[in-house]
Amino acid sequence: MLKRLMDRIRAFTRWMMIDPRHPEIAQAQYRELKTQIPSLYALLMVNAVAVSYTHFDSAPFYLTVGILTPILLFTSIRLIVWASSRTKDLGPDEAIKKMRHTVIMGSLVAVIYIAWSLSLDGYGGDAERGHIALFIAITVIGCIFCLMNLPQAALMVMFIVTLPYLTYYITLGEAVYTAIALNIFLVCIVVLQVLLRSYRSFCKLIQSQAELATKQLETARLNAENERLAQTDVLTNLPNRRYFFNRLERMITKVEKSGKPFAVGLIDLDHFKPINDTYGHQTGDQLLSEVGNRLKAMDLPAIEVSRLGGDEFGFLYVGDLKDAAQIGQKICARVSEPYKLGDLHLSVGASCGIAFYPEAGKTAHVLFDRSDYALYNSKTTTRGRTTVYSSDHEARIRSERAIESALQSADLATEFQIHLQPIISLPDQSVVGFEALARWRSPTLDQVSPEKFIPIAERSGMIHRLTLSLFDKAVRQIKSLPGELGLSFNLSAHDVTSAETVDALLDVIRQHAFDPCLITFEITETAVIRSYEVAEVCLQTLREAGVKLALDDFGTGYSSLGYLHRLPIDCVKIDRSFVSGLDDPVAKGVVKSIVNLCQSMQMRCVVEGVETLDQLEVLQSLQCRLVQGFHFSPGLPFDEVHDSAHKTGTVAGLPLAGHPGNTKLQVSSA
């Protein structure tokens, strides 16, 4: 029982001293009292002057004026202090301190005014004494209402005023004034109860608002954190693609009026795919993380690098555009330095493409597209370097877009044709097969070379449809020729890594009931590098179906020799660049070495690009058995090949292989 009483006393004391555990309530009290306390002081001053006036003739001068003057001066100062604080806001600690000070000052003012008013009660008649009683009653109730948001001060004022007031009149033994004092005391008690209930509601409201504000702050913090995470790449902790494009849009809006140029740069890692395929995705992720760390550590105050996805990064540069390419090259050089991941020592390169605003474009999409084109140019022509988008690129893009547009609407069956280039067996110089070469005559663009439309078909996703249409046409045509002639057909990187395309190619062979052993699909090292694991599975599927596989452009890649062991290769095609330089002992030695390698590995070997008799004689001396090139024939329209084969048994003046034992070769769609 005693403990409970002591707890209540401690709780009441803490409440009276303004509980520091609820600073938000003290701040709310201060906001309310800034407008109420000036009214309280004004009420006190007006009522005190009125009392002084009615007692001026009956009471001593020192009471009506002498003492009241400093009281009014003190009160005026307090009023001015509070009135001047209406525009101020206090922090939690300051508000608590202010409320404590207000309780003390309110008590002091109550003591001063009750003492002064009771000292005047002994002067004048009943009317003057009644004015004193009325002054105390009205003033104390008015003060309580003005202090309703600070009940601690209201409670102190009430007891400081009413208890001496009641005690004073009881000691005088005057029943009427005692009754008045008692009545005022009871009214104050009731008013105080109402005030306390109102204050509890006030506190609940403030606490609810504080809790709501806390939740809103937390929500805002979580939203900000979610927004940060939504714009941050998890693997590298760099800004991500979403951030990059948001920043690009904001930058365009910012410089739209000024026209101040800036640069958009894209960086793509070179040879990252083979590392990812060889060592696994975990190692690839570690490598990307290290690349991100290097980019973050670079001292590049004018740019901020983002990871756009995969092994592609982007940056925005605001500064002297003359330095943009140099900065891009600096990034490429830093990224290209060797990496050590555990026991592995890895190296990747980096290429960069840059486009300038507003020269290259004025929208985020166009700027990104232009810088991506510049990057593509770097990777295909100057790998490891930085390319700045120029007017030459613009002309090329317009041409490529025209080709892509025409390709999208092209009638594959009628616009695309197959030309057949003979593959010659030495030394008898007979035709044992043909390489299929794609030709396109567009109604709008006229003749378009394969070097242009094949890459565009790959990038636009049309290569699968085009490959199947051309292969179907090539199989039908080769089957219509007399004898058992081989067909060589080139597959793109997208074909080699598409199980769906591989299955469709085998369906074409089955539908035409064509011997798969007479078909050779040519692939390049680049096609395999794109995704080795998937390519290996697809190539094995083709090999198991009975078709042959040839590695095209052999000798020009950095690791072609390794693929001869790792992939189910039946044939090697020596690149024409070696044939054109056969007068060079080094080139001649390379060709001889490749021919000997193929013989030792029991592989066929076809030499491309034979254009002169001298080249043919050298190749014969090197024991080359299969060749093709303009010296014998260019690619010929099918109708010409068909008519000549059926009428004379020859093509381009060369006899067709006339028996099943002849070499069965391959063909390529270039």
Contact of 609 with 554, CB cutoff 8 Å: no
Q: Specify the 3-state DSSP secondary structure of 143.
A: helix
Asked if 497 and 535 touch (Cβ cutoff 8 Å), the reply is yes
In 3-state terms the chain splits into helix, strand, coil percentages (rounded to 5) of 60, 15, 25
* 309, β-bridge pairs: 312
- Domains of the chain from N-terminus onward: 2-210 (no CATH), 241-389 (3.30.70.270), 423-433+463-667 (3.20.20.450)
**Amino acid at site 454:** I
- What is the length of the chain? 670
The residue written with tokens 């299929």 in the block is: 436
Q: How far apart are CA 95 and CA 427, in angstroms?
A: 106
Q: What is the 3-state secondary structure (H, E, C) of 400-462?
A: HHHHHHHHHCCCHHHHEEEEEEEEEECCCCEEEEEEEEEEEEECCCEEECHHHHHHHHHHHCC
Residue 147's closest CA among 60, 236, 37?
Answer: 37
CA–CA dist 440, 425 (Å, integer): 29
Q: What is the Cα 362 distance to its own chain's centre? A: 21
> How many helical (H) and strand (E) elements, i.e. helices and strands, does the chain have?
26, 20
pLDDT of residue 670: 33
Tracing tokens 């034992």 back to the chain, one arrives at 661
**Long-range pairs of 177-186 with CB within 8 A, sequence gap ≥ 24:** 177/129, 177/133, 180/133, 180/137, 181/133, 184/136, 184/137, 184/140, 184/141
Q: In which residue ranges of the chain is pLDDT below 70?
A: 526, 529-531, 555-565, 658-670
Give, in order, the Cα–Cα distances in Å from 202 to each of 60, 94, 110, 191: 46, 20, 25, 16
- From 571, 530, 598, select the one nearest 664 (Cα to Cα): 571
Contacts of 198 (CB under 8 A, 6+ apart): 148
8-state DSSP, 62: I
SS3 of 308, please? strand
Please give the DSSP secondary-structure letter assigned to residue 239: B
Strands 636-637 and 650-651, bridge-based pairing? unpaired
Whether residue 510 contacts residue 540, with contact meaning beta carbons closer than 8 Å, is answered with: no
3-state SS assignment for residue 302: coil
Q: How far is CA 172 from the centre of its chain?
A: 86
Cis peptide leading into 427, omega within 30 of 0? yes
- Give the three-class secondary structure for 307: strand
Contact of 86 with 59, CB cutoff 8 Å: no
Residue 113: strand pairing partners: none
